[in-house]
């Protein structure tokens, strides 16, 4: 079995509109000047680092932005520019949603179960509906198209459309998998807020228990845990579980206050995964505020070709002394995390997405790997080709006042077209 991380390429419309209520970074940086070109190049650098470490790397593509088809569904008419101009004049918040580049956070693209866990022996992918946020709720249609292209072979893959919007589903950001290895049967851990997001706190819980249970049934999983996220974590700005916990093979790396009932959660994991190792950051060493601010747990915990584990963290972890010191102690203790890799994804971080937000993990057999559409898989030469397109076509900066400019709308459309052409996609295919 091979694990592939599919990162989202940060799109040319990347901006700081502050659309994500409950995401403290997104809300706090609203109105700032964004740098889409730098953001995309930072993401590509991270992908290149993963390739250099000997890991498989894929890429999902930016969605069409502005999404003029969605705006037309809202009654705006005319050619593309006329539609955007009318939306900006009458409903500027709608144009803001139509310009959002949030599809770059592919941890929210889908929930993925490897073939070793499912009843029919195929890898199952369920597109997330992202119904709790308007700007993200428009993503599932395009996400489904990409996943159906990338994983088209029905012998190895089953790609499911999003659940009904009333069942809030945020994808892999609230899903973990643990087991002896990627090829062995594992236990899938679904972390939810409550039944239907009906909580009284300041911020909404975005993953509904009923949605998680539906994915378990749909994927034919017999070994699954449904675990409730702690109210304290949600209130602190952990809008997804992957802001406070990450798992890889037999290791869970988590904050003390990630789960509503940590003792029961750990006991269930240890019962399901013999030899499970739980690394818990105590709140008296790392507060929830420090965990959310640094995105320590929104890191990629990956198994290297030689079998040891590496934690890929954002630069903000190194910039937070208490967090960096504690993490150094874990590495020095000769535990399962053997080394730390620091990446710069600052532009994404300022909008509330760290290294783990930017990737969707897919574990496949060699035969299934060969069946994936190669246009979605990366090697150094293709990475360089994409970087050339980004440097030539992505806007250098987007200020809030630019969102109403036709030149920006045209540039974003042209940039995506140039990318699709460079990767070999036919006109209209995506």
Q: Phi then psi for 30, rounded to 5 degrees?
A: -55, 135
- Backbone region of residue 428 per phi and psi (left: phi > 0; alpha: psi in -120 to 50; beta: other values): left
Calculate mean pLDDT across residues 394-416.
96
pLDDT digits (tens, 9 = 90+) for 8-29: 999 999 998 767 666 665 667 6
pLDDT for 196: 46
Q: Which of 84, 123, 357, 412 is the catalytic position?
A: 357
Q: First vs last Cα of the chain: how many Å apart?
A: 29
pLDDT tens-digit readout, 321-357: 999 999 999 999 999 999 999 999 999 989 888 999 9
**Which residue is listed with tokens 């940086």?**
29
Indicate the average pLDDT of the chain: 94
Fold of 2-65+100-423: 3.75.10
Which residues, including other chains, have CB under 8 Å from residue 205's CB and lie 6 or more apart? Answer: 192, 193, 194, 197, 199, 229, 234
Which has the minimum average pLDDT: 8-22, 53-67, 90-104? 8-22
pLDDT attached to residue 201: 59
Is residue 187 within 8 Å of residue 223, measured between CB atoms?
yes
**Does residue 27 or residue 394 have the better pLDDT?**
394
Average pLDDT over residues 126-142: 96
Mean pLDDT, residues 77-86: 97
Phi and psi at residue 108, to the nearest 5°: -100, 5
Do 77 and 392 meet the contact criterion of CB atoms below 8 Å apart?
no
Respond yes or no: is residue 357 known to be catalytic: yes
pLDDT number for residue 317: 98
DSSP H/E element including 45:
helix 36-52
Q: 197 pLDDT band (50/70/90 cuts)? A: very low
Q: Select the more confidently predicted residue: 58 or 19.
A: 58
Q: Are 328 and 334 in contact (CB under 8 A)?
A: no
Least confident span in 167-171, 204-208, 382-386:
204-208
- Count CA atoms within 13 Å of residue 379 on its CB side: 3
CB 27 within 8 A of CB 206: no
* Contacts (Cβ under 8 Å, ≥6 apart) of 257: 230, 232, 233, 236, 244, 283, 288
Looking at the chain, the number of H-run helices and the number of E-run strands are 17, 15
Q: Which of 20-24, 313-317, 366-370, 385-389 has the lowest mean pLDDT?
A: 20-24
pLDDT band at 276; cut points 50, 70, 90: very high
Active-site annotation holds for 341: no
User: Would strands 245-248 and 224-228 be described as parallel, antiparallel, or unpaired?
Assistant: unpaired
Residue found under tokens 């999404």:
67
Does the pTM surpass 0.85? The reply is yes
Domain chopping of the chain, boundaries:
2-65+100-423
> Is 329 in the active site?
no
Catalytic residue chosen out of the listed positions 14, 63, 240, 257: 240
Out of 124, 135, 139, 170, the active site residue is 170
- Phi, psi (5° rounding) for residue 309? -105, 140
């Amino acid at each position: 079995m091979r694990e592939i991380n599919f990162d989202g390429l940060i799109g040319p419309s990347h901006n700081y509109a502050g659309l994500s209520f409950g995401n403290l970074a997104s809300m706090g940086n609203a109105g700032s000047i964004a740098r889409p070109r730098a953001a995309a190049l930072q993401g590509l650098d991270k992908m290149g680092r993963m390739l250099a470490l000997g890991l498989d790397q894929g890429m999902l593509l930016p969605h069409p932005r502005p999404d003029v088809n969605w705006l037309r569904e809202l009654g705006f008419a005319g050619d593309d520019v006329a539609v955007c101009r009318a939306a900006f004049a009458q409903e500027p918040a709608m144009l803001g949603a139509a310009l959002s580049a949030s599809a770059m956070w592919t941890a929210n693209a889908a929930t993925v179960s490897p073939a070793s866990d499912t009843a029919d022996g195929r890898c199952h992918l369920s597109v997330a509906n992202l119904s709790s946020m308007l700007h993200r709720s428009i993503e599932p249609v395009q996400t489904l198209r990409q996943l159906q292209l990338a994983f088209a072979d029905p012998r190895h893959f089953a790609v499911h459309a999003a659940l009904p919007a009333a069942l809030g589903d945020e994808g892999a950001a609230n899903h973990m998998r643990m087991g002896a290895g990627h090829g062995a049967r594992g236990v899938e851990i679904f972390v939810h807020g409550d039944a239907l997001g009906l909580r009284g706190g300041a911020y909404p819980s975005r993953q509904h228990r009923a949605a998680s249970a539906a994915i378990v049934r749909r994927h034919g999983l017999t070994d699954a845990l449904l675990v409730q996220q702690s109210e304290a974590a949600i209130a602190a700005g952990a809008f997804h579980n992957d802001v406070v916990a990450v798992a890889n093979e037999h290791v869970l790396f988590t904050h003390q206050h990630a789960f509503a009932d940590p003792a029961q959660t750990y006991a269930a994991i240890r019962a399901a995964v013999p030899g499970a190792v739980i690394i818990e950051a105590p709140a008296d060493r790392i507060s929830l505020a420090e965990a959310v601010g640094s995105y320590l747990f929104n890191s990629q915990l990956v198994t290297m070709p030689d079998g040891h584990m590496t934690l890929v963290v954002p630069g903000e972890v190194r910039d937070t002394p208490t967090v960096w010191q504690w993490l150094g102690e874990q590495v020095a203790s000769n535990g399962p995390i053997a080394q730390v890799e620091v990446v710069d994804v600052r532009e994404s971080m300022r909008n509330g997405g760290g290294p783990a937000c930017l990737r969707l993990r897919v574990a496949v057999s060699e035969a299934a790997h060969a069946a994936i559409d190669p246009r979605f898989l990366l090697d150094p030469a293709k990475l360089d080709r994409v970087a050339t397109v980004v440097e030539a076509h992505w806007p250098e900066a987007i200020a809030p006042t630019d969102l109403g400019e036709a030149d920006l709308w045209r540039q974003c459309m042209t940039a995506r077209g140039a990318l699709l052409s460079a990767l070999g996609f036919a006109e209209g295919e995506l």
